[in-house]
Structure 1
């Protein structure tokens, strides 16, 4: 009796009637899991509630998969057990990858687990099981797996070579079913030369003004410093307790500022990786940081809806109020001494950098403004949005110049090329697009990432393009013309 009531409740969690078919269960699970994925929420309390909800959803789905209906219902609802007959770790690992490619993360986790049982040092299996757990909202399990993967990988790197065959290489992100690139009138001159990795989603990248160093921030709570030309890892900066959302270099390339979900900003010496100072002027996650042209002031925004102006050593100086939701992005136009802010209230605001007064509010996006970028000549503002578009504005008048449409999901980031002729955009449709500014024409689509592309940046010479993604990678693209 209680079992029957329990299983009815499980069906109810997924919004189904008892006896639903296998396909109906899978479809309902996919839809509700997508709706309640913690990444869809910003506020910490909402994230916690979503994590609890996703656990309940996953438990319900797991129970329905193992539930054996009585004889009268077997024809309508038959669940097959996962076949784990392969006896070696590599075969199980490959099966796990295949399931993950198809979005069957629960089954992928089971295969990776079996591979780990057969080979306890299989760090690739830990890494991809962690990714599958993260997809399903199991953040604690994911973090544990990422940690184990990192420790095992470091241990194997330090160990002397053995005569036995090396462990199988993990698949590159290019093999994990990226969406096909859209047709283009001419082949892209941009080629991916290096793929760099974190242990979890990569939210942000920043290239030093001197064009030598790349920094990346991740939900593995670390910042990594890389040599831009070679892709060599120089430092891993640890100190933040939660996701690293944003990064900014000082104009002299010597200092890096990071902002995190732990509400702090950390100031680092780039050459040594030394932590110089920690600023705690926000009480909520920090989503955007930028350093003023004189290198003395940090401007930051986050979920508290304000923009904080802080001295790099002394702390808080001013608070700018005007937005009604998360301040997602900031940019400075040195030529006109203007600060630009974009928000989840769907607006862009311009501020006088000296007087700290609000100049104008630009309205036109129908979704969050996720990134703002200023053209090298200081005349054009580009903004990206949840509404899947990029808008170009005249900075002086605030008038809309053009709307660039072509992405099929949220646009997370935009960056101008150093010559001001082109714009790069990064999207949750897993692609990077390049656009011609004066015509609004879409030039190329780069589609090598297998998950959301969160950020894009040009090197000062315009020859390198950097992208980061939820697929845990950073890609360095080089132009061959």
Structure 2
């Protein structure tokens, strides 16, 4: 009988001892099928491989370590450093690290003329430019010098720009005459009159100065959803839920052309500013490009999967922009009749678009959010949030005032550059209409940017003007950049 004692199996995770692993054995005898033991052996080899060189590592530079910790502490606790007197911080840093920059063992790692060099603390009034330390004994308050010659420069944190002051807007006039929801508005290029279209199937022409009704045009057999006035011809173009696109001669006040091709209601219309073409779109999810004179359809821009609610035209590329209920915005190549860019940032239906009259940018409105974009590639600029309703209409003037109107009657006035919401108005439903009929369906500025015209669900047209009596003292900018942190989407 063999008297050799049997070795108990080793349990994974338990440290090997001399009782279970004699020193003469280089490895533990394990069963080849034991996966846990193999893993343990691999970990032990890795551990021994890296622990064996620890005694040969160079000693820790305590001054460099302390300096690194101070830099990390300043980076972590910068928001509360203003609670501590700056003189105490500077005194502590200069006292603790006054010898950084002097290396008694290696002169090649130091900067020239470092015999009087001391660590200079950070300064909150840093201009944002890296200042090289080229002078001996320089006292630059934006630079820290390490013993290796590395210069650490404080970066000024990015701050939100202060918005421009805009006077508040107030209601100046209410025009009544329609017996249905006012769905669209357009101002004549001469800024003398404007037209409105309604669900009562009538197009009305109003005098802009006096607000008097000048003319009523009948011809649509369903609600009028889009209007546009040509700047080169005496033509007014209209479209509606009856699938019709009409051209009105304003000298004879009658329809002279029809553009046939839409398969469902037409919700929006736009005229090209330099070419005699018009673009219409609606429930058939197709934007159609028409030759104004021959009535021929040039292109059918298909690609959206739901109703197109807004279309814009401009003279530079992309010349056609469409916003749809499928939550996307498409920028079109009008020559090739193909999509140039598709913007998918919105989560809800895109119901309104507007182009800035001076800048090469545009804005879009959806539920609770407005977004600004840059041409020609549709680069996202910023998100404006605050509406807790569906944004049906947008308007912007040359002074940088962006206005959004929602289906609950709220109007928000924004500073275009910063996205600051400087005024909020709530439109009241007119007597004779139900309380819920206070939605805003259309809005536009006149060409002087001094009057804002809105078409609403209470069947009225409201004209707003700037408050001439307001100034920066009576209506200050409530600007709190530490609180107003905009989310970017």
**Range into which the TM-score falls when normalised by the shorter chain:** 0.5 to 0.7
Which of 396, 415, 436 is residue 436 of structure 1 equivalent to? 415
Residues 414 and 189 of structure 1: is their aligned pair in 2 closer, same or farther, counting only changes over 3 Å? closer
Which of 217, 223, 230 is residue 197 of structure 2 equivalent to? 217
TM-score normalized with structure 2 length: 0.58
Give the whole-Å Cα distance in 2 for the aligned partners of 1:462 and 1:242. 32
Which of 297, 307, 329 is residue 310 of structure 2 equivalent to? 329
Which of 283, 286, 299 is residue 306 of structure 1 equivalent to? 286
Alignment of 1:426 with 2:405, yes or no, is yes
Give the whole-Å Cα distance in 1 for the aligned partners of 2:233 and 2:205. 12
Give the whole-Å Cα distance in 1 for the aligned partners of 2:358 and 2:166. 28
Which of 459, 465, 468 is residue 472 of structure 1 equivalent to? 459
How far apart are residue 272 of structure 1 and its match?
4.4
Which of 274, 277, 296 is residue 257 of structure 2 equivalent to? 277
Give runs of aligned pairs for residues 176-191 of structure 1, distance below 5 A. Answer: 188-191=168-171
* Conserved 8 A contact 2:408-2:439: yes
Corresponding residue of 1:82: none
* Conserved 8 A contact 1:188-1:445: no
How far apart are residue 288 of structure 1 and its match?
0.9
How far apart are residue 271 of structure 1 and its match?
4.7
Give the whole-Å Cα distance in 2 for the aligned partners of 1:271 and 1:228. 19
* Conserved 8 A contact 2:318-2:331: no
**Aligned residue pair count:** 295
Give the whole-Å Cα distance in 2 for the aligned partners of 1:219 and 1:367. 25
Q: Which residues of structure 1 form unaligned runs of 5+? A: 1-184
Residues 447 and 269 of structure 1: is their aligned pair in 2 closer, same or farther, counting only changes over 3 Å? farther
Alignment of 1:204 with 2:184, yes or no, is yes
How far apart are residue 252 of structure 1 and its match?
3.1
Which of 377, 381, 387 is residue 362 of structure 2 equivalent to? 381
Give the whole-Å Cα distance in 2 for the aligned partners of 1:187 and 1:311. 42
- Per-residue CA shift, 1:399-451, capped at 9, x if unaligned? 221111122210001111123x1111111120222110111011222323421
Give runs of aligned pairs for residues 254-269 of structure 1, distance below 5 A. Answer: 254-269=234-249
Corresponding residue of 2:300: 319
Give the whole-Å Cα distance in 2 for the aligned partners of 1:464 and 1:391. 24
- Per-residue CA shift, 1:15-69, capped at 9, x if unaligned? xxxxxxxxxxxxxxxxxxxxxxxxxxxxxxxxxxxxxxxxxxxxxxxxxxxxxxx
* Conserved 8 A contact 2:453-2:461: yes
- Per-residue CA shift, 1:357-392, capped at 9, x if unaligned? 31100111111111111112342110011x221111
How far apart are residue 337 of structure 1 and its match?
5.0
Q: Which residues of structure 2 form unaligned runs of 5+? A: 1-164, 430-437, 469-489
Give the whole-Å Cα distance in 1 for the aligned partners of 2:417 and 2:423. 16
* Conserved 8 A contact 2:394-2:404: yes
RMSD: 1.9
TM-score normalized with structure 1 length: 0.59
Which of 368, 389, 392 is residue 412 of structure 1 equivalent to? 392
